[in-house]
Chain A
């Protein structure tokens, strides 16, 4: 259905009526006469007396041009039959959401996760939204920012625990009309709807040392107190991709040794990738002098450019004064990427340089996949549902717009009139 963005201007389409009225008022009075031949003779002999009124087709063309202008100004559009409101469903991606769910006792093997349980609680409500043609946007907090995907179902990858799973999302930023939270603990919300799975505590690995996993075990059936235990773990490793500058490689290997990471074999806790080597001919001008600096230290050398990948955060950016502001080092859980192709000895305090890089590698290093923090394994309480506040109605999106075509038509008609 056609709508107008400026409906009041549609009234201008009545302008041709004024034109027709003017022409009607100013039209030649019709007078029958038996002496028309005399008048015709007069017309031939005195062309000045010939009336140059608007012919009928000019009137129609002018009217059409005016109507086209009026509609062009009113900006007719066709809107799609899309939903009248959009719901944002925040999926809590914290580690606890991927623990098995049970409302009493100990979760059985193969039990649904807390996230799946929350989705199940919301399924009826979600179905109603879908049936009403309303739009669903799934939102996840990832790498310090919100990630959004529109669709009837959440992306399947979001339902599986990631090794880089982070803390819970900033719920307070999502407490607004039209928001729904899928989480495990009942949370206070003023506007957002909450579908909380609840769930009993889930015993398991809660930490690790360089060689062992620390496990919290409990047997609720017997009512025994929780007990801490340790068991050996597989030695994790660090993997290099590419050829880092000697200074960088030496430091990373030293750090790996201190963290009891092997250089081969075992689950990979960290991948250190160098995007290009000094000998790479393909780099060309991209491999240029670079200066990177942190608190109390700086490093000179040469570096390529680094484009951030999804979920990645920058760690070291080229210092002001250098040419451009390239990202020199970026990371995401389990992965560090470096653009350095060559670098000199760090200037300033070498200890500060080592601490900074060590913090980066510690942050990026993955824990053993079994490790879930003790707080995450705690009981989430009872399940709960809170109906959300509906989002404001949205104008339907514009599918087609005809202002330009109408303006073009008006111009062509005007040219026809003047021609």
Chain B
């Protein structure tokens, strides 16, 4: 939380330096190389299937019955569907929360979110996917990225974004058709878990990274505090003491648990991290199983 920020100044923009680009390239090479090594070993064992089988998950009402594993149903007497990995080279979609609350944190949450968007785009391009980036407070078409050579253009575009205003991830939620993977990047407080979870499907992987400011994850102030919501200016005034902080942490954890349960039910991945944590840590989690 940046105490110098005032309600009317809750804005932030991302900035990328040469060191970030170096770390990005190294990270992409590591993640993709590691993946290729693992896949090479498994393919060597002779699976040979068109759509890669990943595992099972419980059947949900309304799903295509053709995906039901009848033999497993016969054995366990409970319905499970086969989960397969989409075809490599499909379309990935990144939803980037650029609401005012993303300007909070030191560094701002928006900085980390943009870094993650760049990493996901580069990894996607590296593995042959076409990546679109949709920003919550912009009405124009998603930024399209498909070749690593376009990295400078991508970073320039990301730097042109600004976290401000009221529009968060909730404004981006809409039915999806052809996307093989959806990455939601934000702080996760303006969108309902089930709204995102419903977008996951057998052919679509759902990953989310909730980036919170350090003061949101572990608030430290004592005494009278007027908590202000950057998007709306709504405030709540509390006398914060140790028991209040403990109750806050418990309430926050309960909310994150609800997210985890909802994502777990659809085979999605949720990573929660502080904006202070390096992007590599969070990116590794959200990219896990993305292709």
Q: Which residues of A contact B (CB under 8 A)?
A: 26-43, 45-46, 49-51, 53
Contact = CB atoms under 8 A, between A and B. Distances in A.
Interface stretch (B30-38, B61-69, B228-236): B228-236
Given A34-B101, A38-B248, A42-B248, A49 B226 contact: no
Nearest to B251: A38
B187 interface: yes
Contact of A34 (B3, B187, B224, B241): B187
Interface stretch (B14-22, B80-88, B215-223, B279-287): B215-223
Given A31-B3, A42-B244, 10 more contacts: A31-B215, A31-B221, A31-B225, A33-B213, A34-B216, A36-B234, A38-B248, A39-B227, A42-B251, A49-B240
B224 A26 contact: yes
A38 to B, nearest CB: 5
Given A32-B1, A42-B247, A53 B237 contact: yes
A33 B218 CA distance: 12
Given A34-B216, A50-B238, A29 B224 contact: yes
B247 A46 contact: yes
Contacts of B247: 42, 45-46
A352 to B, nearest CB: 97
Nearest to B189: A34
6 contacts: A26-B224, A32-B101, A32-B229, A34-B189, A36-B234, A38-B252
If over half of A's interface residues share one DSSP class (helix, strand or loop), that class is named, otherwise mixed; here it is mixed
B187 A28 contact: no
Please provide the 9 A-B residue pairs with the shortest distance between their CB atoms, ordered closest to farther: A34-B101, A28-B224, A28-B226, A36-B229, A51-B237, A39-B227, A34-B187, A35-B216, A30-B226
Contacts of B216: 33-35
Contacts of B112: none
Interface residues of B, number: 39
B239 interface: yes
Nearest to A53: B237
Contact of B224 (A27, A33, A42): A27
B10 interface: yes
Contact of B244 (A26, A32, A37, A49): A49
Contact of B228 (A27, A30, A38, A45): A30
Nearest to A43: B236
Contacts of B252: 35, 38
